[in-house]
Structure 1
Amino acid sequence: MSSIERQNLIMKRLKETELPIKGSDFAKKTNVSRQVIVQDVSILKAKNEPIIATSQGYMLIKHQPDKHVKQSVIVCKHTPEQTEEELNCLVDHGVTVRDVIVEHAVYGDLTASVMVSNRAEVTQFVTRIKETNATYLSTLTEGIHLHTLEADTQEKIDAACKELEKAGILVQ
């Protein structure tokens, strides 16, 4: 299968689902290495395809202007060991954590997709960090980081923030 055919397959599959698809799944389907898929996705991104890489796999950002979705950016500070507590607090209130943002001294703002909406996704995210020996971006900034949150009501975001504040995680 040529790179164009793989890229077309990647786009077709991403358009057909709301769920993330792992690079390794694309690799098995096309009989290439995961690194080849990473390269194909990079080429697609360079062609302005709205693909994001999450801890669960690749997703297509579907631009649907939903006036009912509320969005907020919050500032948090905690240890790496408190990450799961933080994320569970947010998703338990019906909030989706879209990303994490840290301010790097050289690169400026670094943003990484998180995309967790429930405890199972939080567990998968934290497990993946541990399995790969990756470090949380917040370790670059002594625990200070931002999250973009989404929910269907502002009340859900507010309730989650109150709980984070009680836990000493939210920075006011």
Structure 2
Amino acid sequence: MDKEKRQKKIIEILSLKTKPISGTVLAKKFNVTRQVIVKDIAILKAQGILIRSNSRGYYINKSNKLIKSIAVKHSNELIEKELYTIVKCGGKILDVTIEHPVYGEITGIIDVETIEEINDFISKLKTSKPLSSINDGVHLHKIEVDNEKQFNCILNNLKELNILLN
């Protein structure tokens, strides 16, 4: 299969799936290396295809949900509580952004919406440092919600935790 056909098939597969698909799975399907898939995805993104990626793989976001941003400040010990609070109110944490003194904005993809995904994310943080540790705990999150009621639930609960910045 040539490159163009493979890239069209990748778009088709990602458009039909609701969960991320790993580069390894795609590579096996097309009998190419994972690096070939990484390159294909980069080309497709450059062409304007809205492919997102997280630690579980690639996907095309087909959501018609609201995406909101929040600013928070807290210690590393409150990360888990913060994420649980957002998910319990119906939110999905898309990313984290910090302001770096040299590089400007740095964004990391989080992409969690279940307790299981939070637990997996937290276990990975134990062997690394969170981006927010660079900025004394100050960071932004993009959050996906179904409606304003869910977003207000998140805001109110984060206020109660005393971590929401106004």
TM > 0.5: yes
TM range (shorter): 0.7 to 0.9
Describe the shift of the 1:135–1:8 C-alpha distance in structure 2 as closer, same or farther (beyond 3 A): farther
Structure 1: how far apart are the matches of 2:121 and 2:148? 25
1:61 matched residue in structure 2: 61
Deviations 1:88-128 (A, max 9, x none): 11001111222211112233222333222221222233334
2:6 matched residue in structure 1: 6
TM-score by length of 1: 0.81
CA shift, 1:134, in A, is: 4.4
2:115 matched residue in structure 1: 119
Describe the shift of the 1:46–1:86 C-alpha distance in structure 2 as closer, same or farther (beyond 3 A): same
Query: Of 74, 86, 90, which aligns to 1:90?
Result: 86
Say what the alpha-carbon RMSD is for the aligned residues: 2.3
Matched, 1:38 2:47: no
Structure 1: how far apart are the matches of 2:48 and 2:102? 26
Describe the shift of the 1:129–1:153 C-alpha distance in structure 2 as closer, same or farther (beyond 3 A): same
Query: Of 123, 129, 136, which aligns to 1:135?
Result: 129
Unaligned runs of 5+ in 2: none
1:74 matched residue in structure 2: 70
Matched, 1:109 2:105: yes
Q: Determine helix, strand or coil for the equivalent of 1:114.
A: strand
Aligned length: 166
Structure 1: how far apart are the matches of 2:35 and 2:47? 19
Q: Percent identity?
A: 36
Structure 1: how far apart are the matches of 2:60 and 2:67? 19
Structure 2: how far apart are the matches of 1:81 and 1:6? 44
Describe the shift of the 1:128–1:42 C-alpha distance in structure 2 as closer, same or farther (beyond 3 A): farther
CA shift, 1:15, in A, is: 0.8
Partner letter of residue 26 of structure 1?
L
Structure 2: how far apart are the matches of 1:161 and 1:85? 14
Describe the shift of the 1:31–1:80 C-alpha distance in structure 2 as closer, same or farther (beyond 3 A): farther
Partner letter of residue 42 of structure 2?
S
TM-score by length of 2: 0.84
- CA contact under 8 A between 1:56 and 1:125: conserved in structure 2? no
Q: Determine helix, strand or coil for the equivalent of 1:165.
A: helix
Structure 1: how far apart are the matches of 2:125 and 2:105? 21
1:18 matched residue in structure 2: 18
Q: Determine helix, strand or coil for the equivalent of 2:20.
A: coil
CA shift, 1:84, in A, is: 2.1
Q: Determine helix, strand or coil for the equivalent of 1:20.
A: coil
- CA contact under 8 A between 1:56 and 1:124: conserved in structure 2? no
Describe the shift of the 1:170–1:45 C-alpha distance in structure 2 as closer, same or farther (beyond 3 A): same
CA shift, 1:20, in A, is: 1.2
